[in-house]
Amino acid sequence: MKIYDTAKEKLVNLKLDHQVRIYTCGITPYDSAHLGHIFTFMTYDLLSRRLIDLGHDVRLVRNVTDVDEPIFKKAKELNISYKKLAADETTKFQLVLKKLNFLPAYAEPLASEYISEMAQAVNVLLERGFAYRLESDIYFSVDKLKSFGTFSNLNFRLQRNFMAMRGGDINRVGKNNPLDFLLWRGVNDVKDEAVWNEVVGRGRPGWHIECSVMSQAVLGNPFDLHGGGSDLIFPHHECEIAQSYGLGQTKMAKYWMHVSPMLFLGEKMSKSLGNLVFAGDLLEKYHPAVIRLALMDYHYTNGGEWHPEILDVCKNLFERLNQVSTKIDVKHANLLLNRLRIAMDNNIDNHDIMHALEDIVNIKQFKKETSGQEIFNKAMWLLGLNLK
């Protein structure tokens, strides 16, 4: 099976043992799941299904970042506890994934459950000289790692820009390097509820250290594949790699796989821009399989502009697939299943997948038998399509 490896910048053949360990960066639960989220996670759902089909024991971990500054800000705006906001939004997200027929994750660790382990990791980085204190905060020193930046392969100007856009305080006075990133935020406000008293002081972890610790705790290192949206390549995954190296893990993951953004109105779907299409809203109007089919019209390495009219096109395809399911013969069911497997092995080629589905529903006449139903159902399972 081939996927596009971000680190190697090319298609690679996956070389895997029986057990496959996958870590994908999950949501920061302060708002409802939008199609950009679903598109990303569905890519790994399809990957998992094909690996299971190949006989692997897949352990996919999808974390929940329930300790992060955007949650605290939103909770304050709503005048509710950040814990309640995070718990409520996480429940909504999980319900959406269940309705969309996602395979259950092997584990969904909450950042709030690993605070002590994160603090201990930060302390190790301090002791090994990879981190330093600035007032009550602790930063990772990127100058201690000559390889910092080689994963994302961005020049210094772009690193600065992306770091600033994605939560980094590049203008903080006193930092050794503008790209030095926060490991631990010291908190002196007695009214702040997101605070823990740990070995490194009173405060809470930075964003990047969370995934380094949770992935290590649940999967060990190196695990097989690390995934997420392409916007996480820098700084998040670059910083994860740096931290893990500082903690003595020379290789965090064997493969890196990233999903390009879903656009709407010409921009990446994001809460800050307000150009979101919520999966929950679409589920009120369309069958879950229709939404999955619509997202399969896009390839994970490209993403693309969301066109709402694709839903009605895929609704028609869904109805025709239902018709085929009652009359397909063994020969055509096997042809479909084999085409889908070939397409998925070729970097999860959604375009070939959709062509295969269109071809099967356009067949005028099948043999007068229904013996292909079991094979056809297996093909639908491979794509996560529950037609009923």
Radius of gyration of the chain (CA): 22
Closest by CA to 281, choosing from 78, 43, 92, 39, is 92
What sign for the dihedral angle of Cα 25, 27, 33, 34?
A: negative
Query: 318 pLDDT exceeds 90?
Result: yes
Measure the CA–CA gap between 387 and 380, rounded to whole angstroms.
8
pLDDT of residue 276: 87
Same domain for 263 and 290: no
Same domain for 220 and 100: yes
pLDDT of residue 31: 81
Same domain for 237 and 130: yes
Whole-number mean pLDDT of the chain? 95
Same domain for 47 and 115: yes
pLDDT of residue 116: 98
Same domain for 341 and 215: no
pLDDT of residue 268: 82
Measure the CA–CA gap between 58 and 34, rounded to whole angstroms.
26
Domain count, the chain: 2
The CATH number assigned to the domain holding 155 equals 3.40.50.620
116's enclosing H/E stretch is: helix 115-127
Same domain for 301 and 252: no
Closest by CA to 354, choosing from 288, 299, 282, 285, is 299
Q: Mean per-residue pLDDT for 160-169? A: 92
Q: Mean per-residue pLDDT for 223-234? A: 96
pLDDT of residue 367: 76
pLDDT of residue 91: 95
Residue matched to tokens 């500082």: 246
pLDDT of residue 96: 95
Pick the last residue of a domain from 268, 301, 317. 268
Whole-prediction pTM: 0.95
Q: Mean per-residue pLDDT for 195-207? A: 96
Same domain for 146 and 221: yes
Query: 271 pLDDT exceeds 80?
Result: no
For residue 336, give its domain range.
Answer: 286-382
Instruction: Answer whether residue 275 is part of any domain.
Output: no
pLDDT tens per residue, range 20-56? 999 999 999 998 788 999 999 999 999 999 999 999 9
Same domain for 229 and 119: yes
Pick the last residue of a domain from 268, 302, 325. 268
Residue matched to tokens 């955007």: 70
Instruction: Answer whether residue 387 is part of any domain.
Output: no
Same domain for 373 and 256: no
Instruction: Answer whether residue 273 is part of any domain.
Output: no
Residue 202, beta-bridge partner list: 197
Same domain for 18 and 151: yes
Pick the last residue of a domain from 213, 242, 268. 268
Helices 330-345 and 350-361, interaxial angle, to 10°? Answer: 170
